[in-house]
Amino acid sequence: MQEFKNFKNTTQRQQFIKFLKNFGRDFIFMGLVIFGGLWFLGVVGKTNNHFACDAETVKQKNRKNFFFKDGNYFTGGDLVSQDFVFEGKNSLLLNGENGYGFQLNYEYLKGNEEVVVWVWRYAEGDWKNAGQIVATVSGKFWKASQEIVETKPSGWEKIQLKFQVPEQTQNEIMSVYCWNSQNQPIYFDDFHLVIQEKEEL
């Protein structure tokens, strides 16, 4: 290095060497900080995605009404109800004419994710058991659940679906939604979907 040879005395050389050492250390430290931040956000390493919909905001997309929350679109924007609400001002009403809602499509599965879905459900009769959570990958996977994990004195029930994504669904699209298989009305509110990539062995 010509600059190194041109130093007039030992002190200047030592200062220059010290500068190079500090610069290298700082560069490595900043690289670790940036990588750690990206890992935490799920950009690199395993992913941990949480999607939620509270039925409070309706937004139009491609001339259709969707529920909108945190930048994500969920189906059912035309099925808003204020008759029975768990939290906020609105809920999703599903019946025989409109049996599906809160649907979110999750793209580019890796085939090793663990999924947990929950939503609050309400109905005035025994037909509430027809209200389920469904997850499906076209032609490869279908799973439904109405497992009750919590109840409220008001009649609202928290139902849950848990499963591991099959390996053969890699690079496919998974649809998750609420389903009412009967004609009588069932209300849904506060939908949550958590998708976590498993640690590699």
A 10 A CB-CB count for 37 gives 11
Q: How far apart are CA 67 and CA 72, in angstroms?
A: 8
Helix (H) or strand (E) holding 159: strand 157-164
In CATH terms, the superfamily for domain 48-197 is Galactose-binding domain-like (2.60.120.260)
Q: What is the pLDDT of residue 45?
A: 44
Residues forming a β-bridge with 61: 64
Question: Could you give the CA distance from residue 113 to residue 115 in angstroms, rounded to a whole number?
Answer: 6
Is residue 5 scored above 90 in pLDDT?
no
98-157: per-residue pLDDT in tens?
Answer: 999 999 999 989 999 999 999 999 999 999 999 999 999 998 999 999 999 999 999 999
The per-residue pLDDT for 37 is: 46
Mean pLDDT of 16-25: 60
Instruction: Parse the chain into domains and list their residue ranges.
Output: 2-41, 48-197
The dihedral sign for the CA sequence 192, 195, 199, 201: positive
pLDDT of residue 172: 96
CA distance 161 to 119: 9
Q: What are the tokens at 90? A: 């609105």
Segments in the chain forming alpha helices (H): 2-5, 10-41
Report whether 84 contacts 121 (CB < 8 A): no
pLDDT, one tens digit per residue, over 165-196 is: 999 999 999 999 999 999 999 999 999 999 99
Cα 182 to Cα 18, 22, 99, 186: the distances in Å are 75, 69, 8, 9
pLDDT tens, position by position, 45-92: 455 799 999 999 999 999 999 999 999 999 999 999 999 999 999 999
